[in-house]
A and B are shown apart, each in its own frame.
Chain A
Amino acid sequence: MSQAASGYSIAMRSDGRGVDRAAERGSALVVAILLLALAGVLATALAELGRRALVRARLDRDGVRAAYLAEGGLAEAVAGLPAGWSFDAALADQPTSLPAAGDPWTFAVGFVDDADDSPADDTSDRNARVMLRVSAFGPAPIRRRLEAVIGRAPDPLVPGALTLDGNVGSLTPDFLLDGRDFDMSSGCTLAADGPPRAGLALPDGPSLPVLATPDQVRGRGPAPSIVRDDAPSFDEVADAEHAVDVAAGSLAAALGDAATPAFVRVDGDAVVDADTTGAGTLFVAGRLRVTGRLAYRGLVAAANGIVVDPGGTLEICGGAYAAGAPAFDARGPGFVRASRTALRLAATVAPLPAPARVIAVREPS
Chain B
Amino acid sequence: MKGFTLVELLVGMLLGLVAAAAMTALVRVGVAAWERAGAEAERALEIAAAADQLARDLRVAGYDPTEAGIGGLTVTARDRVEITADLDGNGVIDPTSEERIGYRVAATSRSLQRVVGAQTLPILAEVSAFMLAYRGADGGALDPDAAATAADARVVGFTLTTTDPDRARPLHVAGGVRLLNRDAF
What residues of chain A have their CB less than 8 Å away from a CB belonging to chain B? 25, 27, 31, 34-35, 38, 41-42, 45-46, 49, 52-53, 56, 60, 71, 74-75, 78, 146, 148-149, 357-363
CA distance A41 to B33 in the complex (A): 13
B60 with A363: CB separation less than 8 A? yes
A359 with B64: CB separation less than 8 A? yes
Question: B55 → chain A, closest Cβ, in Å?
Answer: 9
CA distance A359 to B41 in the complex (A): 40
B153 within 8 A of A: no
What are 25 A-B contacts defined by CB distance under 8 Å? Answer: A25-B12, A27-B16, A31-B19, A31-B23, A34-B23, A38-B27, A42-B30, A45-B34, A46-B37, A49-B37, A49-B41, A53-B44, A56-B44, A56-B45, A56-B48, A71-B184, A357-B185, A361-B60, A361-B63, A361-B181, A361-B185, A362-B60, A362-B63, A362-B85, A362-B180
Q: Is the interface of A mostly helix, strand, loop or mixed?
A: helix
Q: Cβ of B60: which chain A residues have Cβ within 8 Å of it?
A: 361-363
Question: A58 → chain B, closest Cβ, in Å?
Answer: 13
Question: B44 → chain A, closest Cβ, in Å?
Answer: 8
B157 within 8 A of A: no
B137 within 8 A of A: no
Q: Cβ of A146: which chain B residues have Cβ within 8 Å of it?
A: 180
Question: A333 → chain B, closest Cβ, in Å?
Answer: 42
Q: Cβ of B23: which chain A residues have Cβ within 8 Å of it?
A: 31, 34-35, 38
Question: B25 → chain A, closest Cβ, in Å?
Answer: 12
Interface residues of B in 39-86 (CB under 8 A from A): 41, 44-45, 48, 56, 59-60, 62-65, 67, 85-86
Q: Cβ of A74: which chain B residues have Cβ within 8 Å of it?
A: 185
Question: B97 → chain A, closest Cβ, in Å?
Answer: 13
Given A25-B12, A359-B64, A361-B180, also A38-B185 (CB < 8 A): no
Q: Cβ of A361: which chain B residues have Cβ within 8 Å of it?
A: 59-60, 63, 180-181, 184-185
B63 with A60: CB separation less than 8 A? no
Question: A280 → chain B, closest Cβ, in Å?
Answer: 22
Q: Cβ of A49: which chain B residues have Cβ within 8 Å of it?
A: 37-38, 41
Q: Cβ of A71: which chain B residues have Cβ within 8 Å of it?
A: 180, 184
B87 within 8 A of A: yes
Total B residues in contact with A, Cβ cutoff 8 Å: 32
CA distance A46 to B8 in the complex (A): 40
Cβ contacts B9-40/A at 8 Å (1 or 0 each):
00010011001000100110010011001100
Q: Cβ of B34: which chain A residues have Cβ within 8 Å of it?
A: 42, 45
Q: Cβ of B41: which chain A residues have Cβ within 8 Å of it?
A: 49, 52-53
Kindly report which residue of chain A lies nearest to residue B178, judged by CB atoms. Answer: A71
Q: Cβ of A360: which chain B residues have Cβ within 8 Å of it?
A: 62-65, 86, 181
Q: Cβ of B48: which chain A residues have Cβ within 8 Å of it?
A: 56, 60
**Residue with the greatest number of chain B CB neighbours at <10 A, chosen from A49, A60, A146:** A49
B185 with A75: CB separation less than 8 A? yes
Question: A200 → chain B, closest Cβ, in Å?
Answer: 30
Q: Cβ of B56: which chain A residues have Cβ within 8 Å of it?
A: 363
Question: A215 → chain B, closest Cβ, in Å?
Answer: 34
**Residue with the greatest number of chain B CB neighbours at <10 A, chosen from A38, A41, A361:** A361
CA distance A42 to B85 in the complex (A): 49
CA distance A357 to B185 in the complex (A): 8
Question: A113 → chain B, closest Cβ, in Å?
Answer: 14
Given A27-B16, A56-B45, A362-B85, also A42-B33 (CB < 8 A): yes
Kindly report which residue of chain A lies nearest to residue B98, judged by CB atoms. Answer: A365
Q: Cβ of A46: which chain B residues have Cβ within 8 Å of it?
A: 33, 37
Q: Cβ of A359: which chain B residues have Cβ within 8 Å of it?
A: 64-65, 67
Interface residues of B in 102-134 (CB under 8 A from A): none
Other contacts beyond A359-B64, A362-B59: 15, CB < 8 A: A27-B15, A27-B16, A31-B23, A49-B38, A56-B44, A60-B48, A146-B180, A148-B185, A359-B65, A360-B63, A360-B181, A361-B59, A361-B185, A362-B85, A363-B60
